[in-house]
C-alpha cells in the first residue's frame, strides 16, 4: 500500500481527467493510512476484531466511486461490485461469483452501498461474518451516514444493532465538497430535450443518423433464470418509451445486460415522479446507474425540466446522485467521447 494515495490521485488525473479536490486528496490519504496498517501481516491480528473495512460517504459528485475504481485498478487482489449487483448475487443459493471473490481477493470494493429492506440487511450481515472469517477487508462507498442507512419500525432492534456494529467496525471517511465534479458543462440539448414540442422529430432524426438498421426489430436478452425482450431495437440503438419500459419488472442486472449490449439508448417522454410511483423511480435510478457504468450515450426527452423530474422526499437523496450522473451524461464532452462507440459500430 506504499504511495497508494499518490497513485489514486494520479489515476484520477490520468484516467478521469479531473484535478483532485481537497476532499479527494484527504480521502486518499486516509485510505492509504488505514489499509497500510490493517493489511500489514505482522500486526493484522491486533486489529482483526476491531476492523472490517472503510466506509466512504458524503456529498454527491465528490468522486467516491472514482476512488473505488482507482483502488480496483491499482490493487490487483481486489474485486469491485455495485451494491445492487452484489446483493443480487448473495441471494443465489450457490453463489459462485461471491465465493470466488472471497477466495481470491484481499480487498472487496462495494460501490453505492444502500440498504432499503430487511432481507438485504440480513443477507449483508451474513456476508460480513464470512468476510471476517476469511480475513477480508471491505471498502465501501455510500451517500448516507452509516448509522442512518436503514430503519424498520417492526424490527428496529435488529436494525439498530446492525448499524451500531457497522459504526464500530468501519473506519468512516466523510467527503464534502460544494462542487460536483460531474456538473462541469451544460447539457447538450440536441440529446437531452426538455419542454420542446418537436422532441419526437429530434429523436427520430437521431435514429436515422446513428442506427445500423432502418427497420425496428425486437431484441432478446437473458440471464440465468430470466429472459425478456424489448421492441424498438435498431442494431446498435434502442428506442424506449419511459412509461412502458419502467412498468416492466426489471432489475439492475437486466438494465446492465441492456447497457452492455447497446451503445445508444433513446428514452422518450419521461414523466414526473413522486411518492406515488416509487417503482418507476427505483427502476429509473437503477437504469441510469447501469447506463452510466457502461458509458452508454443517452437521448432523453420530457415535458419537465431535468431538476424537477422527481418531486418526492423519501428518495430525494438517492435521486440527487442520479441527477448528477445525468448532467454528466448530457454534457458535450461525455456525448462526443462515447458517441464514437456508436459510430464505430455503424
8 A C-beta contact, residue 83 and residue 114: yes
251 sits in the region (left: phi over 0; alpha: psi -120 to 50; else beta) called: beta
Which residue's C-alpha cell is 451517500? 143
Question: What's the start-to-end Cα distance of the chain, in Å?
Answer: 44
Rounded to whole angstroms, the Cα distance separating 13 from 11 reads: 5
pTM: predicted TM-score of the whole model, two decimal places: 0.79
Residue 100 is predicted with a pLDDT of 63
pLDDT digits (tens, 9 = 90+) for 81-100: 989 888 888 877 556 655 66
Burial of 338 (C-beta count, 10 Å sphere; 0-12/13-18/19+): middle
Q: Is pLDDT above 80 for 299?
A: yes
Residue 47 is predicted with a pLDDT of 46
Q: Is pLDDT above 90 for 37?
A: no
* Strand 297-302 versus strand 217-223 pairing type: unpaired
More confident residue, 342 or 258: 258
Q: What mean pLDDT is predicted for residues 240-269?
A: 95
Report residue 113's pLDDT band, with 50, 70 and 90 as the boundaries: very high
Here the cell at position 182 is 460531474
Residue 43 is predicted with a pLDDT of 42
- Edge-to-edge strands of the sheet including 107-111? 78-82, 107-111, 137-142, 53-58, 170-175
Q: What mean pLDDT is predicted for residues 199-219?
A: 94
CA neighbours within 13 Å on the CB side: how many for 4? 24
pLDDT digits (tens, 9 = 90+) for 312-335: 888 888 898 899 999 999 998 899
Residue 50 is predicted with a pLDDT of 55
CA neighbours within 13 Å on the CB side: how many for 238? 25
Here the cell at position 52 is 472490517
Residue 346 is predicted with a pLDDT of 56
CA dihedral (61, 66, 68, 70) in degrees, to 10, reads: -160
Q: Is pLDDT above 90 for 1?
A: no
pLDDT digits (tens, 9 = 90+) for 65-74: 999 999 999 9
- In sequence order, the β-bridge partners of residue 240 are 267
Q: Is pLDDT above 70 for 123?
A: yes
CATH of region 4-175, choose from 3.40.50.300, 3.40.50.150, 3.40.640.10, 2.30.30.230: 3.40.50.300
- In sequence order, the β-bridge partners of residue 268 are 241
More confident residue, 266 or 197: 266
Residue 318 is predicted with a pLDDT of 83
Q: Is pLDDT above 60 for 166?
A: yes
For the chain, domain boundaries: 4-175, 192-344
Residue 244 is predicted with a pLDDT of 96
DSSP 270: P
What is the average pLDDT score of the chain?
Answer: 87
8 A C-beta contact, residue 144 and residue 46: no
Report residue 177's pLDDT band, with 50, 70 and 90 as the boundaries: confident
C-alpha distances (whole Å) from 233 to each of 27, 122, 129, 237 are 43, 39, 44, 6
C-alpha distances (whole Å) from 210 to each of 96, 171, 218, 247, 258 are 39, 48, 18, 27, 18
Amino acid at each position: 500500500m506504499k504511495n497508494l494515495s499518490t497513485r489514486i490521485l494520479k489515476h484520477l488525473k490520468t484516467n478521469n481527467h479531473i484535478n483532485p479536490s481537497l476532499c479527494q486528496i484527504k480521502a486518499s490519504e486516509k485510505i492509504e493510512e488505514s489499509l497500510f496498517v490493517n493489511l500489514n501481516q505482522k500486526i493484522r491480528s491486533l486489529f482483526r476484531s476491531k476492523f472490517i473495512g472503510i466506509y466512504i460517504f458524503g456529498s454527491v459528485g465528490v468522486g467516491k466511486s472514482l476512488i473505488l475504481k482507482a483502488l480496483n485498478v491499482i490493487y490487483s487482489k481486489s474485486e469491485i461490485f455495485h451494491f445492487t449487483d452484489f446483493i443480487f448475487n448473495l441471494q443465489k443459493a450457490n453463489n459462485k461469483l461471491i465465493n470466488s471473490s472471497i477466495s481470491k481477493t484481499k480487498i472487496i470494493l462495494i460501490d453505492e452501498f444502500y440498504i432499503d429492506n430487511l432481507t438485504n440487511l440480513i443477507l449483508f450481515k451474513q456476508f460480513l461474518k464470512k468476510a471476517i472469517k476469511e480475513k477480508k477487508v471491505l471498502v465501501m462507498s455510500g451517500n448516507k451516514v452509516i448509522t442512518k442507512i436503514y430503519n424498520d419500525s417492526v424490527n428496529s432492534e435488529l436494525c439498530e444493532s446492525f448499524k451500531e456494529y457497522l459504526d464500530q467496525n468501519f473506519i468512516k471517511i466523510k467527503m464534502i465538497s460544494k462542487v460536483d465534479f460531474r456538473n462541469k458543462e451544460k447539457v447538450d440539448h440536441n440529446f437531452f430535450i426538455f419542454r420542446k414540442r418537436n422532441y419526437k422529430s429530434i429523436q427520430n432524426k437521431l435514429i436515422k443518423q446513428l442506427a445500423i438498421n432502418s427497420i425496428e426489430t425486437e431484441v432478446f436478452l437473458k440471464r440465468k433464470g430470466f429472459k425478456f425482450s424489448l421492441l424498438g431495437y435498431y442494431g446498435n440503438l434502442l428506442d424506449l418509451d419511459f412509461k412502458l419500459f419502467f412498468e416492466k419488472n426489471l432489475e439492475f442486472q437486466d438494465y446492465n445486460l441492456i447497457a452492455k449490449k447497446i451503445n445508444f439508448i433513446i428514452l422518450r417522454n419521461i414523466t414526473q415522479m413522486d411518492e406515488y410511483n416509487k417503482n418507476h423511480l427505483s427502476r429509473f435510478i437503477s437504469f441510469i446507474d447501469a447506463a452510466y457504468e457502461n458509458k452508454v450515450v443517452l437521448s432523453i426527452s420530457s415535458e419537465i425540466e431535468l431538476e424537477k423530474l422527481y418531486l418526492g422526499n423519501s428518495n430525494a437523496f438517492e435521486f440527487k446522485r442520479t441527477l448528477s450522473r445525468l448532467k454528466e451524461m448530457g454534457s458535450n464532452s461525455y456525448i462526443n467521447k462515447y458517441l464514437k462507440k456508436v459510430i464505430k459500430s455503424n
